[in-house]
Amino acid sequence: MDQFRNIGIIGRLGSSRVLDTIRRLKRFLLERHLHVILEDSIAEMLPGHGMQTCTRKLMGEICDLVIVVGGDGSLLGAARAMARHGTPVLGINRGSLGFLTDIRPDELEARVSEVLEGRYLMESRFLLEAEVRRGMESIGQSDALNDVVLHPGKSMRMLEFELYIDGHFVCSQKADGLIVATPTGSTAYSLSAGGPIMHPKLDAIVIVPMYPHTLSSRPIVVDGNSELKVVVSPELQIYPQISCDGQNHFTCAPGDTLSIRKKAQKLQLIHPVEHNYYEICRTKLGWGSRLGVQE
């Protein structure tokens, strides 16, 4: 009995290459007599498709597998929606980097066939949940697969805040902002701000100050079950922004508290059987290749 019968397709909008790949994927899945469900926003770009459509929110409830055609940004958005249902996600890369969407369009049929036949690697990736509170009131909340970022928005002013980990005061800090990243997000914004690369299997969170006022401020790696609290200085003259995966944004005020913790539900991310994390890093980050030495 096939493990994946109801297969959802999510695609990045505004790209003819993505639409071409989705048409090819749809045709391939229908030839295998599978039930294909298109996300409603991408379905509008495919007139006459004849497929069932649904919202992204509903897709996690009715699909056995969701295939994302696009870049890592597309997969981040899908991940936040699918994690709550435990629906596995597979990425076909139509973006640039492709740390998460690791199937090339030219190998679509071969790799998707392997997955449908049960030959794949499944990884659990944890997400973060962030909430901003103003006194007793919740001002905003969102999830992030990559990172939660406190930043000044359009202002050029430096931020000032206090950091607490598991209720313990760590430090007060002046900086351009703060990045709190998962291992998945350690190769994204966190990396460009000087954070470490963390293997996806690590149960850890990295806290990276952005251009801190004090040169001794360095990234801190803490246990993945840590509860973080960032208190925005009441004396601050601007209203900072919180961004989750660079996609969901909300504004906080001086004196607000940002709480960050691991989300209970995890993303189930599918890779081809030959997936190699270090090869991905070597290719995407331009690391040196072998010297030709025989092993």
Domains and CATH numbers, the chain: 6-120+272-285 (3.40.50.10330), 127-264 (2.60.200.30)
Catalytic choice (2, 72, 102, 245): 72
Q: What is the pLDDT of residues 141-156, one digit of tens each?
A: 999 999 999 999 888 8
* Concatenated DSSP letters of 147-214: EEEEE-TT--PPEEEEEEETTEEEEEEEESEEEEE-TGGGGTHHHHTTPPP--TT--EEEEEEES-SS
pLDDT over threshold 50, residue 61:
yes
- Reported as a pLDDT band with limits 50, 70 and 90, residue 294 is low
Known active-site residue 106? no
Contacts of 105 (CB under 8 A, 6+ apart): 17, 21, 24, 92, 93, 94
Ranges of beta strands (E only) in 24-103 are: 35-39, 52-54, 65-70, 89-93
Summarize the confidence of residues 2-14 as an average pLDDT.
Answer: 91
- Reported as a pLDDT band with limits 50, 70 and 90, residue 293 is low
pLDDT over threshold 90, residue 231:
yes
Summarize the confidence of residues 273-287 as an average pLDDT.
Answer: 90
Q: Between the CA of residue 291 and those of 282, 283, 284, 287, 288, what are the distances in Å?
A: 14, 15, 19, 12, 8
Q: 236 by DSSP, 3-state: which?
A: coil
pLDDT, position 188:
94
